[in-house]
Amino acid sequence: MKEKILVFALGSGIVVPILYFGTQLLAAPFFPGYSFLSMEASLLGSDLAIYPAIFNIGAIITGNVTIIAAIGFLLALQHLGTNPFLAWLTSLAVLLNGIGSLWAGFFPMPDARHGSNPFAVGIFLFPILLTFALWNRSNARPIKIYLIITNLLFLALIPIMSGVSGINTQGYQGLLQRIAVLVFFVPISVGSYFLIQRTKNLSFSEGAKRDSKKTA
C-alpha cells in the first residue's frame, strides 16, 4: 500500500511542469493580444483576462498536485536511506512550491499579495537541496549532472533577472520567467521519475533477497 502511494505521489510530480505550462496554453486564447515573450504568466489570471479563472484554477490544481508530490519525495528519499534532515528539507521545498502555486491562484493579480508570495523560497531551494540529497548515491550520476547544470543556470539567471548584468530585458520578461520555471519546475518532474525508478529497483532487490532467504 505504501509503495502504491509513493508511486502515485511521484507520478503527480512528473506532471507538475506539464500542468504549469498547459494552464497557460489554455488561458492565453482568452487574453487579447497576450505575448508569451513579453508578458508574465500571472497576467493570464488578472482582471485583464476574459476568463481569469482558467489560469487561477489551473494554478490551484498545480499547487495541489505539487503538494502530493512532496509526500512522494519524502517517502522515496526515506526509502533510499537519504539523510533524514536532507529528505525533510527537500520535501519541504516541494511543499512550499505547491503552496506558492496555491497562493498565486487564490490571490491573483492585481491583488498586492500576489507579488509578495512568502512561499516562493521553496521554488529556489529545491534544485540545490535535491542535489545534496542525491549526492552520495553512486547510481545517480545522470541526474546529478542534470542538477548541477540546473543550479549553474540558476546562478546565471540571477544577475540577468535582477538587472545587475546591465542586459536590457525590456520586452522579454515573459521569456525569462518561463526559462526560470524550466530551471525550477522541471527538476520536480525529473526527480520524481528518477525516484520512481530507484525505489522500484530497491524494492525488487529487497524482494529478491527475501525470496532467496525463504528458499535457503
**113 inside domain:** yes
Domain count for the chain, please give it: 1
**109 inside domain:** yes
Domain that holds residue 109: 2-202
* 150/120 Cα distance (integer angstroms): 18
**184 inside domain:** yes
pTM for the model stands at 0.89
- pLDDT per residue over 112-167, tens digit each? 899 888 898 888 899 999 999 999 888 889 999 999 999 999 899 888 887 788 88
**What is residue 192's DSSP assignment?**
H
* 183/32 Cα distance (integer angstroms): 28
**What is residue 91's DSSP assignment?**
H
Say whether pLDDT at 103 is over 60.
yes
**213 inside domain:** no
**208 inside domain:** no
**209 inside domain:** no
Report CA torsion sign: 170, 173, 179, 184.
positive
* 188/65 Cα distance (integer angstroms): 11
pLDDT score recorded for residue 1? 62
Cell numbers standing for residue 56: 487561477
Mean pLDDT of the chain: 89
**What is residue 47's DSSP assignment?**
T
Say whether pLDDT at 216 is over 80.
no
